Amino acid sequence: MSAERGNVKILVFACRWCGLIGADGAGRKRIELPASYRVIPVDCAGYVEPDAVIRALASGATGVAVLGCHVGGCRFNDANHPALKRLELLRTLLDTTGIGGRRLLLGFGTAHESHQYAEMIVDFHRELEGLPSMASWLHMAE
């Protein structure tokens, strides 16, 4: 089946205490990036319900990234722990169905800096390009 190449759309949920810093910074420094991502700032990675990731994929996102603070450094009482656990469990489900857990990128404590963020997007984009197309899942919906 055909690959996602040329069709990559990435939705990034970026926690405003870390991930968003990197995303913002990458923009400010004018780092060249594929124009395939959109960022949704959230107060905490714990705010991101897995259903939102599912909805994003159902709406045509090729991949979803959830960026949070490093595991010990959550601003809000370790809310990123359950977030991490939940999203890893969702990854299992994505793998089962063949959609592929690789479409879910979790970066907790890895995107504070602009260059980190930039590298991550470039790598994620490349990875997604090679994945088999999800069109058969989406074709059914109007």
Partner 1 sequence: MLGQVKQKAKEILEKKEADGVLGLRKGLFDVIHPHVFTSPTEIDTLVLEPKWLFAKMARAILREKPQAWRLAVIVRGCDERAIVELVKRNQIDRERLLTIGYACDGDQAKACLCSRPYPQKLDAGSAVEGVDPLADERVKAYLEGDAGKRMEMWVAQLKRCIKCYGCRNSCPICVCVPCKLEDDVWVERGVIPAEMISFQLIRAFHLSDTCVACGACQEACPVGIPLMTLQLSMREALKKDYNYEAGLDANRKSPVLFDFSKEPRPGQAVPDWVDSMGKKP
- The footprint of partner 1 (CB under 8 A) covers 1, 50-51, 54-55, 57-58, 70-72, 77-78, 81-82, 84-86, 88-100, 104-110, 119-120, 123-124, 127, 132, 136-138, 140-142
Q: How far is the CB of 116 from partner 1 (least distance, A)?
A: 9
Report the residue number, 25 or 50, with the smaller CB distance to partner 1: 50
- CA torsion 36-39-40-42 (nearest 10°) is 140
Please state the closest distance from residue 125 (CB atom) to partner 1, in A.
11
Helix H or strand E encompassing 66: strand 63-68
Phi-psi region of 76 (alpha: psi -120 to 50; beta: other; left: phi over 0): beta
For partner 1, the closer of residues 24 and 127 by Cβ is 127
Q: Which residue has the tokens 């990731």?
A: 53
For the CB of residue 3, give the shortest distance to partner 1 in the complex, in Å.
11
**Residue type for position 63:** G
Q: Within its chain, how far is the Cα of 138 from the centroid?
A: 19
Q: Which is nearer to partner 1, 43 or 89 (CB)?
A: 89
* Least separation in angstroms between CB 107 and partner 1: 6
Q: Closer to partner 1 by CB, 35 or 140: give it.
A: 140
How far from chain centre, in Å, is Cα 103?
A: 8
Minimum separation from the CB atom of position 22 to partner 1 (A)? 13
Tokens, residue 99: 């959609």
Count of positions (residues) in the chain: 142
Q: Which is nearer to partner 1, 38 or 55 (CB)?
A: 55
